[in-house]
C-alpha cells in the first residue's frame, strides 16, 4: 500500500464517516477479518445476523409482522438459514403492492433516502434506504472488492457511472469532494461515440488511473476502439466490471486489448454489491457476512450445485426497507468446488441471463439466452452482438466486427446462422445485420437478448401444434 493509500485508509475514511454519519471503517474491518473465516464460522455469523434481521423485521416492519403472524411464525422459528423457506419470496410486484408496509417504523421517515433501479431489466422499482444502507455496508463491500483487485481506497479510478443524481443536498456537496479525495475521474456513459472515444482514450492516458470501472459492454466498446486504432492500450492495473453479465467474448476482448483479466462483480441497486471475483476469477464470492443468498427452482426449492435457479437475496444489514428473500430476477448456480484462494465465502459459478432473456421457438421450446454458445461468437471475431426476436419464426442478430474483418462478413454470417440454428431452433429464419456498435439502453446497459414475442402467443402456437 503506498503512503497516500495508507493515509486515506487510516485518516480519511474516519473523517468521511464522521461527516456522512456512516460506518464504512467498521464494516470494512469486519469484512477484512471475516473473509478468511472458515465456512462453519461464516455460517454461524450469518445465522446470528439473519436472526437479528428477522427479529427487526418482525418488530418494525408491518408487512413481515403480518405474513409471519398469518403463518403462525415467530422470529425464533428461523433457527437456520434453510428456515427462510418458511417465508414467502418477495417479488417486485409485492414490493409495489406493500410499499408503505415495508418501510421500517423505527426509522424517522425524513431521514430515509428514496432510491431506485434503472429499469434495465424492464421493471423499475423504487425503495427506501437509510443513510447507512446506502453509504456504509455497501461501500465497504465495494472497497473490499477493490482490494481484491489490487486497488486501494485512494487509487485513481476512472468510471463510467450511471447518471443517477445525488439523492440530497448534502450528497450534492459531498459527492464531488469524495471523488476528489478518491482521485476518481468520471466519463459520461451516455456520450460514448466515435467522436468522443479518442478524447476518452486521451483522457485515460493523461490521468493514468489505476483502474477502470464500467459495464462490460462499455469497456468492450472502448477496447474495440483501441484495438481498431492500432495504438497500444493505456496501462491500467485493474478492470472492474459490473452492472450486467459479462460474456466470454467481452472478457476475451478485454484480456487481449488490456492484457488483464477483468474482475467481474455482481450487484444491483437494491442491495448494492452482492459478490465479486477474487484474484482466481473462479466465480463470484458472495458476501455472506451481509447477505443470505439462496438459489431456488421454479417451485421455490433449493437447487444443487451447478444447477441454475432463481437468485434470492436477504439483506442482513438493510434497515430502512428490509428485503427478505428478494427475487433478483437473475439466474445463477453455485460452484461445485471451493475457490483456490482459500476464502470460504460462498462461490457462485455463474450469474446468467435475466429471466426476461428467453427466446421462444416455433416448435414450442423456450431457450434461455445462456444456452447459446457465446464463446463461439468471439471465435468468429465478433466483438459485440444483440439478438432480437420480433416474431416466433425469426431472429435478427446485430453484429459488430472489427474494421479489418469486414471482408469476412459472409463467413461470419454463415457461422452465426449455424450457431443459432444449433442452439435455438433449426427452423428459424436468421437475419444478420452488421452495425458499428450495439446501442445501450437509456440507463447505459447492454441487453444482449431481447424477445418481443409474448409468452401467450408462444403458448397458443405450442397448444395448436400439440392438438
Q: What's the min distance (Å) between Cβ of 166 and Zn ion? A: 34
Q: What's the min distance (Å) between Cβ of 154 and Zn ion? A: 25
By the 8 A CB rule, do 243 and 276 touch?
no
Q: What's the min distance (Å) between Cβ of 284 and Zn ion? A: 10
CB under 8 Å, gap of 24 or more: what pairs does 256-263 form? 256/223, 256/227, 257/223, 257/226, 257/227, 257/233, 258/223, 258/233, 259/233, 260/236, 262/216, 262/219, 263/145, 263/148, 263/149, 263/238, 263/239
Does residue number 144 form part of the binding site for Zn ion (CB under 5 A)?
no
Q: Of the candidates 101, 95, 89, 143, which has an alpha carbon nearest to the alpha carbon of residue 115?
A: 95
Q: Please state, in angstroms and rounded to a whole number, the distance separating the CA atoms of residues 275 and 347.
A: 9
Q: What's the min distance (Å) between Cβ of 157 and Zn ion? A: 22
Give the residues across from 367 on adjacent strands.
359
Given the rule CB under 5 A, which of 63-71, 78-86, 279-287, 429-437 is the region that contacts Zn ion? 279-287
Q: What's the min distance (Å) between Cβ of 12 and Zn ion? A: 28
Q: For Zn ion, which is the closer residue by CB, 60 or 280?
A: 280
Q: What is the DSSP letter of 450?
A: E
Q: For Zn ion, which is the closer residue by CB, 246 or 253?
A: 246
- Applying CB under 5 A, the site for Zn ion has a residue count of 5
Q: Tell which positions 339-398 bind Zn ion, by CB under 5 A.
A: 339, 341, 343
Does residue number 280 form part of the binding site for Zn ion (CB under 5 A)?
yes
Q: For Zn ion, which is the closer residue by CB, 283 or 415?
A: 283
Cell of 192: 460514448
Q: For Zn ion, which is the closer residue by CB, 236 or 278?
A: 278
Q: What are the distances in angstroms from CA 60 to CA 56, 64, 110, 112?
A: 6, 8, 17, 15
Q: For Zn ion, which is the closer residue by CB, 211 or 347?
A: 347
Q: For Zn ion, which is the closer residue by CB, 146 or 401?
A: 146
Q: What's the min distance (Å) between Cβ of 280 and Zn ion? A: 5
Q: What's the min distance (Å) between Cβ of 347 and Zn ion? A: 7
Does residue number 12 form part of the binding site for Zn ion (CB under 5 A)?
no
Q: What's the min distance (Å) between Cβ of 279 and Zn ion? A: 7
Q: For Zn ion, which is the closer residue by CB, 197 or 339?
A: 339
Q: For Zn ion, which is the closer residue by CB, 343 or 445?
A: 343
Per-residue x/- track, 249-278, Zn ion (CB under 5 A) = -----------------------------x
Contacts of 37 (CB under 8 A, 6+ apart): 45, 344
Per-residue x/- track, 34-73, Zn ion (CB under 5 A) = ----------------------------------------
Q: Is 91 helix (H, G, I), strand (E, B) or coil?
A: coil
Q: For Zn ion, which is the closer residue by CB, 251 or 285?
A: 285
Q: What's the min distance (Å) between Cβ of 220 and Zn ion? A: 25
Q: Tell which positions 327-346 bind Zn ion, by CB under 5 A.
A: 339, 341, 343
Contacts of 260 (CB under 8 A, 6+ apart): 236, 237, 238, 239, 254
Q: Of the candidates 407, 403, 413, 404, which has an alpha carbon nearest to the alpha carbon of residue 380?
A: 413
Helix axes of 24-34 and 13-20: crossing angle, nearest 10 degrees: 130
Label residue 203 exposed, middle or buried (CB < 10 Å: 0-12, 13-18, 19+): middle
Contact residues for Zn ion, defined by CB under 5 A: 278, 280, 339, 341, 343
Amino acid at each position: 500500500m503506498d503512503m497516500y493509500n495508507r493515509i486515506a485508509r487510516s485518516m480519511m475514511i474516519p473523517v468521511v464517516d464522521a461527516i456522512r454519519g456512516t460506518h464504512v471503517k467498521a464494516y470494512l474491518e469486519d469484512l477484512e477479518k471475516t473473509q478468511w473465516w472458515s465456512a462453519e464460522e461464516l455460517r454461524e455469523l450469518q445465522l446470528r445476523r439473519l436472526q437479528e434481521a428477522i427479529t427487526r423485521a418482525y418488530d418494525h416492519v408491518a408487512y413481515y409482522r403480518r405474513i409471519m403472524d398469518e403463518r403462525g411464525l415467530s422470529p425464533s422459528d428461523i433457527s437456520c438459514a434453510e428456515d427462510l423457506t418458511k417465508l414467502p419470496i418477495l417479488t417486485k410486484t409485492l414490493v409495489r403492492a406493500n410499499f408503505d408496509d415495508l418501510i421500517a417504523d423505527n426509522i424517522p421517515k425524513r431521514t430515509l433516502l428514496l432510491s431506485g433501479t434503472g429499469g434495465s431489466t424492464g421493471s423499475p422499482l423504487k425503495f427506501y434506504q437509510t443513510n447507512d444502507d446506502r453509504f456504509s455496508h455497501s461501500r465497504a463491500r465495494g472497497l473490499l472488492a477493490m482490494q481484491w483487485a489490487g486497488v486501494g481506497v485512494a487509487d485513481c479510478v476512472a468510471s463510467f457511472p450511471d447518471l443517477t443524481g445525488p439523492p440530497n443536498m448534502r450528497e450534492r456537496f459531498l459527492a464531488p469532494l469524495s471523488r476528489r479525495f478518491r482521485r476518481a475521474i468520471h466519463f459520461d456513459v451516455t456520450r460514448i461515440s466515435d467522436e468522443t472515444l479518442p478524447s476518452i482514450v486521451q483522457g485515460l492516458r493523461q490521468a493514468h488511473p489505476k483502474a477502470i470501472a464500467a459495464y462490460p459492454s462499455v469497456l468492450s466498446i472502448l477496447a474495440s476502439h483501441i484495438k481498431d486504432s492500432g495504438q497500444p492500450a493505456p496501462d491500467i492495473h485493474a478492470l472492474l466490471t459490473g452492472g450486467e453479465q459479462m460474456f466470454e467474448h467481452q472478457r476475451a476482448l478485454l484480456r487481449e486489448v488490456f492484457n488483464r483479466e477483468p474482475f467481474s462483480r455482481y450487484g444491483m441497486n437494491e442491495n448494492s454489491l452482492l459478490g465479486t471475483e477474487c484474484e482466481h476469477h473462479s466465480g463470484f464470492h458472495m458476501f455472506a457476512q451481509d447477505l443470505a443468498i439462496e438459489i431456488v427452482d421454479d417451485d421455490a426449492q433449493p437447487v444443487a450445485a451447478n444447477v441454475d435457479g432463481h437468485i434470492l437475496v436477504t439483506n442482513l444489514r438493510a434497515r430502512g426497507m428490509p428485503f427478505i428473500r428478494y427475487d433478483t430476477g437473475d439466474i445463477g448456480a453455485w460452484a461445485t468446488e471451493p475457490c483456490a484462494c482459500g476464502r470460504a465465502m460462498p462461490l457462485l459459478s455463474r450469474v446468467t441471463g435475466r429471466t426476461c432473456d428467453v427466446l421462444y421457438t416455433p416448435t414450442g421450446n423456450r431457450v434461455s439466452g445462456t444456452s447459446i454458445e457465446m464463446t463461439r461468437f468471439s471465435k468468429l471475431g465478433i466483438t459485440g452482438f444483440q439478438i432480437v426476436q420480433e416474431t416466433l419464426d425469426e431472429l435478427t442478430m446485430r453484429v459488430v466486427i472489427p474494421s479489418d474483418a469486414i471482408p469476412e462478413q459472409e463467413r461470419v454470417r454463415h457461422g452465426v446462422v449455424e450457431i443459432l440454428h444449433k442452439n435455438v431452433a433449426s427452423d428459424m429464419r436468421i437475419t444478420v445485420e452488421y452495425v458499428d456498435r450495439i446501442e445501450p439502453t437509456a440507463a447505459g446497459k447492454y441487453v444482449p437478448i431481447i424477445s418481443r414475442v409474448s409468452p401467450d402467443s408462444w403458448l397458443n402456437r405450442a397448444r395448436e401444434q400439440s392438438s
